[in-house]
Amino acid sequence: MQYLLNGLPLGAIYALVALSYSLIYTASGVLNWSQGDMVMLGAYLGFTFMSLAGLGFGPSFVLSMLLVAAVGVAVQRLILRPLKERGAPPINVVIATLGVAITTRNVALLVWGPNAQLLQSPVSSNPIGIGMLRITPQDLLILAMALLLMFALQYMLRRTKEGRALRAVAQDRYAAVLMGVDTNRSDAVAFAVSASLGAAAGILVAPIFFVTFNMGAGIGLKGFVAAVIGGLGYIPGAIGGGFFLGLLESAAGGQISSGYRDVITYAILIILLWLKPSGLFLRRRQQKL
Amino acid sequence: MKVKKAAFFFLVSVAVVGISVFCSYGTAMSADNVIRIGVVGPESGGSAQLGQGQHQAAQMAVDEINSGNLAGDWKLEIFFEDDEGNPTKSANATNKLIQQDKVHVLIGAINSSATLADMVITGRAGIPQITAGSTGSTITEQGNRWIFRTAVNDEFQADALIKYAKEDLGFKKIATLTAADDYGQSGANLLAGAAEREGLEVVSAQTYNNGDKDFKPQILSIKDAGAEGVFLWGLYTEAALIVRQARQLDLNAQFFGASGMAAQKLIELGGDAIQGLVLTQSFLPASDKAVVTKFVNGYVERFKDTPIPHGAQAYDTIYIIADAVKRAGSTDAEKFREALASTSGLQLVTGEPKFNEKGDDTGKYILLTTIEGDGFKLFKTIEN
C-alpha cells in the first residue's frame, strides 16, 4: 500500500510530461525530444526566481511556466517551422528537437553549473501519517497541482478558440486549413502549452529531486514512455500512462529488487506493448485530443 | 693500414669523449642531491577541485622543505601533470614524467581507475608510486610492491564505522544502501565483511544507480527489515536525497557515510534531514593539533582557500618522501623504496605514517564526524 502511495506523485509528474509529448505529437505531428529539457528549464527558472530574486513559490511557478512557454514557441518558430517550410523529412525534424535538447542542457550547465541545486518547497516535507501510511504535504501539492493543470488543459481544449483549433488540426490538418484555421498559430499554441506543462512538472518535482542540468533526460524519457503506454497522442491515455508507470516503478522497486528497478519496469513495458501495440487504453491506432 | 689505424684512433677518442660526457652528466645530477617528484591528478574535468587541492598543497610542502633545508642536503624538485581523471591520460602523463622528467617517485593519482592504470607503468619502470587520493581497496591488493597509499583505505573507514555502531551505539541490525558502481560496491563488501567480523547482522543490502532520484522502495525495504543503522556508500547528491526521503517515510535509523560524500554541498542539499549523519574523514581544517593549524594557516594565507583532505594527504606525502630520501641517502629505486617502507615516527597533518606490507598507511587518523548545523563536527579520533 505504501508503495502505491509513493508511486502517485511520481505518476502525476510523468503524466504531465506525457501530456506535453502527446499534445505536440497530435497537434503538429512532431515528436519533440526537447520536452524533458523544458522540465529542467522550468525547475531552474523556478529555482532562480525563488532563491535569487526572492519571489514566492506561486509567482515563480507562473513566471517560469510563461517563460518556458516562450522558449517552446521560439523553438517552434525558429527551428521547426523553417524546417517544415523547407520540406525537411520528419526524421530530420525529430533530430532537430534532439539538438535543441542537448543545446539547452549544455547552456544550463554553463549558466547554473554542475552542482545540484535545492528548490525550497512552500509546504513541509515532513510526513503526515494515515494509519501506517505516510504521505508528505509536498506529495499532496504535486498531486493537486497536476490534477488542476490537467483540468485546465481539458477546459482549454474544449472551450477556447485556440483549443478548438488544436483539436480541429489534430483531426484533419488539411481540412482544418480549408476551414480557415491558422496552423502556424495552432502549432505555436501546442508548443507553448506543452512547454509550460513540462515547466510545471519541473518546479513541482524540484523540491524532492533537486535541480540538475541533466534531470531532463531521465524525466523526459519516462514521460515519453508513459505517453506511449497510454497511446501516443491520446490525452486521457497520457494521464493514465503516467500514473501507471509511476505505480509500476514504485511497486517493482519495492517488491522485487531495487537495483533492477529500471530493468523490470522496462521489461514489463516491452511485454505490454507487444500485447497491446497501440497502448493500454486504445483499441486501435487513433489520435484524439 | 694507415687509414685503418686512424679510423680506430678516431673511434676510440669519440668513445672516450662520449663516456666522459655521459659520466659528468651523471655525476652532475647526483652531486646536487636532487630528488625529482612527479604528481599526477585531475586538474581539470569533473574532479578538478581534488586535483588542484593536491597540486597546491604539494607545491607548498616542497617550498617549505627546500627553504627550510628539512631534507638534509637533498633538494626536492616537483613536476605536475593533469590527467583529467581519465585512466588513459593518466598513464600517458605517468609515462611522460618517467621518460622525460626522469622522476624518482610518483604521487598519483586521485581517481582509483587512473591510479590502477598508473601502477602498471611505475611497476614496469620500477619506481615507487604513492597515491594520496585513491581510497579504493583494490589498489593495494594487486601484489604490486611499488605502490604506497597515504589516503585512507576504504576498508579502515568501514571498520571504524561498524565498530562505532556496535561498541558505542550498541546496534545489532544494520542495512547498507550503496551505489551500484566500483566505489559503492567495494564499500558494500567492506561493510558486510566488517559487520560479519563484529557480529552485526546486515538485515537489508540495497543498491541504487547513480543519478537515481527516487529511493523510497529501498528505504521501505530497510524500514520493513528493522535496521537500526543505515550505511550509505556513494556520492553526496544521492546521499542527500536518501536521507530526505527516509525522513518522509518516517524511517528513524541512524545514518552513516564515508569520506567520498564529505562535501559542504551534502549539508546544503540534505537540509534538516541530514543533521546527525555520522561519517568518517581523514582531515578537518578545524583542529587543535599544532601541525594541522600550521598547515591550514599557511595554506589559507597562500591560496586564499581552505585545504581539502586530498591536499592534506598530498602535503604529508611530500614530507614522507623528504624523510625517506634523507634516510636512504640515495634516489636509487630499491634503496628509496626500502626507506619509504620503513617510515616511522613522523607526526604529520593526517596521522603518523607507517606502511604495512601491502603499502597501506596504517597510522592514519580516522576522524568520526557528525553533521551539526552547517558544518562537520569531530567527535572521535581513531589513532592506530
Do the bridges between strand B366-372 and strand B375-382 make them parallel or antiparallel, or are there none, so unpaired?
A: antiparallel
The residue among B257, B281, B305 that closes a domain is B281
Co-location of B190 and B238 in the same domain: yes
d(CA A9, CA A142): 6
Last residue of a domain, one of B259, B281, B303: B281
Q: What is the DSSP letter of B167?
A: I
Domain with B237 in it: what CATH number? 3.40.50.2300
| pLDDT over 60 at A81, yes or no | yes
Give A240 to chain B, closest Cα distance, Å.
Answer: 20
> Taking the model in full, what pTM does it have?
0.76
Per-position DSSP letters for B73-110, written without gaps between them: T-EEEEEEEE-TT-HHHHHHHHHHHHHTS--SEEE--S
Residues B270, B293 within the same domain = no
**Ranges of H-type helices in B262-308:** 264-270, 290-303
Angle at A118 between CA B229 and CA A38, to 5 degrees: 125
Classify residue B28: in a domain, yes or no.
Answer: no
pLDDT tens digits for range A134-172: 788 888 999 999 999 999 999 998 899 888 888 888 888
Question: For residue B24, what pLDDT is reported?
Answer: 44
Report chain A's C-alpha Rg in angstroms.
19
Q: How many domains are there within chain A?
A: 1
Could you tell me the pLDDT band of residue B4, with boundaries at 50, 70 and 90? low
Report the pLDDT value the prediction gives residue B25, as an integer from 0 to 100. Answer: 45
Q: At CA A198, angle to CA A197 and CA A203, rounded to 5?
A: 100
Within-domain flag for A284: no
Which H helix or E strand runs over B255?
A: strand B254-257
Which residues are within 8 A (CB) of B110 and not within 5 positions of it... i.e. 6 or more apart? B41, B42, B47, B50, B51, B54, B85, B131, B132, B133, B134, B310
Q: Is residue B242 part of a domain?
A: yes
State yes or no: pLDDT of B29 exceeds 80: no
Tally of domains within chain B = 2
Identify which of A122-126, A265-269, B129-133 has the greatest average pLDDT: B129-133
**Given CB atoms, is B209 within the 8 Å cutoff of chain A?**
yes
pLDDT tens digits, residue range A52-71? 888 888 899 999 999 999 99
On whether the CB atoms of residues B104 and B35 are closer than 8 A, the answer is: yes
All residues of chain B having their beta carbon less than 8 Å from the beta carbon of residue A116 are 237, 240, 265, 269
Count A/B contacts: CB-CB distance under 8 Å.
Answer: 77
pLDDT for the residue numbered B246: 92
> Residue A208's domain spans which residues?
2-275
In a mutational test of the B interface, the residue from A14, A118, A258 whose CB has the highest number of chain B CBs within 10 Å is A258
Question: Does B56 fall in a domain?
Answer: yes
Tell me the nearest-neighbour CA distance from B379 into chain A, angstroms: 28
Whether residue B164 sits in one domain with residue B264 = yes
pLDDT at B154 exceeding the cut of 50: yes
pLDDT tens profile B64-119: 999 999 998 899 999 999 998 889 999 999 999 999 999 999 998 888 889 999 99
Structural domain contains residue A280: no
Q: Are residues B147 and B294 in the same domain?
A: yes
Query: Are B145 and B49 in the same domain?
Result: yes
Question: For residue A136, is it within any domain?
Answer: yes
Residue B244: give the domain boundaries. 155-281
- Asked whether residue A95 is domain-assigned, the answer is yes
Identify whether residues B58 and B108 lie together within a single domain: yes
Q: What is the CATH number of the domain that holds A110?
A: 1.10.3470
B115 plus B83 within the same structural domain = yes
Q: Cell match 523510497: residue?
A: B216
Query: Model confidence over B217-229: pLDDT tens digits?
Result: 889 889 999 999 9
Helices A2-28 and B216-225: crossing angle, nearest 10°? 170
Chain B CB contacts of A126 under 8 Å are 247-248
What average pLDDT does the segment B316-344 reach?
A: 94
If you write DSSP's letter for every residue of B181-241 in order, what string do you get?
A: SHHHHHHHHHHHHHHHHHT-EEEEEEEE-TT----HHHHHHHHHHT-SEEEEES-HHHHHH
Does residue B213 belong to the interface with chain A, where contact is any CB pair within 8 Å?
A: yes
- Domain assignment present for B11: no
Is residue B255 located within the same domain as residue B301? no
Is A286 domain-assigned?
no
Least confident of A14-28, A91-105, B28-42: B28-42
* pLDDT for the residue numbered A264: 80
In the structure, what pLDDT confidence band is assigned to residue B26 with cuts at 50, 70 and 90?
very low
Tell me the C-alpha distance between A39 and A20, whole Å: 10
In a domain, A162, yes or no: yes
Q: Hey, what's the cell of B70?
A: 628539512
Q: Do B185 and B205 reside in the same domain of the chain? A: yes
Q: Averaged over B152-170, what is the pLDDT? A: 92
List, for residues B277-289, the tens digit of each pLDDT value: 999 988 988 888 8
| Residue A191 resides in a domain | yes
Which of A246-255, B17-26, B105-114, B340-349 shows the lowest mean pLDDT across its residues? B17-26
Q: What is the DSSP string of B11-49?
A: HHHHHHHHHHHHHHHHHHHHHTTEEEEEEEE-SSSTTHH
Cα–Cα distance, A14 to A70 (Å, whole number): 22
Does the beta-carbon distance from B218 to A253 stay under 8 Å?
Answer: yes
Contacts of A265 in chain B (CB under 8 A): none
| Residue A2, pLDDT above cutoff 80 | no
